[in-house]
């Protein structure tokens, strides 16, 4: 009766090995796909970052501001920090 136990275990472990090997093989494929996706996203991220930076350059902003009609104003009025009214009643 007991000699069935090792036989049973061999069958179960054999089936398990086949199952997990198949699973791992498909996981490898998934990992490759994910790695490729990560690489594409990283590259896109890098491109977007440099694109954003190129739009934020001061020379670019200056020419955009000039196009919109903005100019430099040197007539700056400084307000005195002294309170112009009496504090005590």
Q: Which residues bind another protein (CB under 8 A)?
A: 21, 24-25, 27-29, 31-32, 43, 46-47, 49-50, 53-54, 56-59, 74, 76, 78, 81
The least distance separating another protein from the CB of residue 9, rounded to whole angstroms, comes to 21
Query: What is the C-alpha to C-alpha distance for residues 70 and 3, in angstroms, rounded to an integer?
Result: 93
Nearer to another protein, 15 or 60 (CB): 60
Nearer to another protein, 52 or 87 (CB): 52
The least distance separating another protein from the CB of residue 25, rounded to whole angstroms, comes to 8
The least distance separating another protein from the CB of residue 62, rounded to whole angstroms, comes to 8
DSSP secondary structure, the chain, as one string: -TTHHHHHHHHHHHHHHHHHHHHHHHHHHHHHHHHHHHHHHHHHHHHHHHHHHHHT-HHHHHHHHHHTT--------PPPSS-SS-S--
């Amino acid at each position: 009766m007991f000699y069935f136990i090792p036989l049973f275990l061999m069958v179960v472990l054999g089936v398990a090995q086949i199952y997990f090997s198949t699973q791992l093989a498909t996981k490898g494929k998934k990992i490759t796909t994910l790695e490729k996706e990560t690489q594409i996203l990283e590259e896109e991220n890098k491109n977007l970052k440099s694109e954003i930076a190129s739009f934020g350059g001061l020379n670019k902003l200056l020419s955009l501001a000039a196009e919109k009609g903005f100019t430099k104003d040197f007539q700056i009025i400084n307000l005195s920090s002294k309170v112009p009214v009496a504090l005590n009643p």
